[in-house]
Amino acid sequence: MDRIGFVGLGRMGEGMASSLRRKGFELTVFDLQEAPLLKLEKLGAKRAASFADLVRCSDVILTVLPGSAEVELAVLGPDGILANGRPGLIYMDHSTVDPLTTDRLSAALAAKGMSMVDSPIGRLASHAARGECLFMVGASEADFARVKPLLQAMGTTIHHCGQVGHGIRTKLVNNYLSVVSCQMNAEVLTLANAYGLDLETTLDVIHGTSATNGQLKMNFATKVLVGDTEPGFSVDLAHKDLTLIVNSANANKVALPIAAVARESLSMARSTPYHAMDFSALLDFWCERAGLKKVRFKTQGKN
């Protein structure tokens, strides 16, 4: 069985790594935060003294990192995979990064006899904690077969989207629709609030016509509309992803004017305490700016 290294034990990564240990995988972990390391050690994971140490004792390395700069450092840095890895090693990145970063790193690893799998995540930290992630995977057939047992241990839905780089590109397409829908829903319900409309009746109408959308029906109904703005996916992360989307589209000479406008709308929320809240809290942000009360279900928990 492959020896697994896991780096990045934030809210998503901790749940994913815990799932691997519960399924019996030999796991070495590394993070800058002490608390998640202690939790994983209690589950039987080994703690690496450094990232370089983790690379040297792993056959497959998984990362869940904040962005492109951190992923590049993991591969290209002095303690990174290129400097300390060996032929046959697979690097599987679950971060949301610039697709061109994935392309560059994959090529650099291939030149050293190593390979890369990009496997961004399509669900929330609560899903990760239950081993219910969705993965969008870019990989060769051989690499996909090798990492599939790991993905099955951490998730319930796995899409092999194509070659390396197709996973992250699929994630950006998905998140474009998700984040822009969230901004649109915030505006829609702010307008309904200004009109003095009944929330439940308005949603019944929307969900019964072609105007319905998953963000409004699922995420809003279980987050902001019941008063829960703890970040499952924060405004900061939504803004980061929209920035990646706009920049990547520009690199491919594709105009996304709606995405550009939505990103600047999120920029306004990022300059306030809303930056760290769930992105469904954009509804509260826009109601506040309009001088309106927050929109909530009359009966908490209704959806």
Catalytic positions are 171
- CA 30 – CA 54 distance, rounded (Å): 7
Tokens of 6: 């896991």
Show Cβ contacts of residue 177 under 8 Å, excluding neighbours closer than 6 positions: none
Q: 17: buried, middle or exposed (CB in 10 Å: 19+, 13-18, 0-12)?
A: buried
Q: Which residue, among 135, 141, 132, has the nearest Cα to 122 in the 3D structure? A: 135
- CA 234 – CA 216 distance, rounded (Å): 16
Query: One-letter amino acid identity for 297?
Result: F
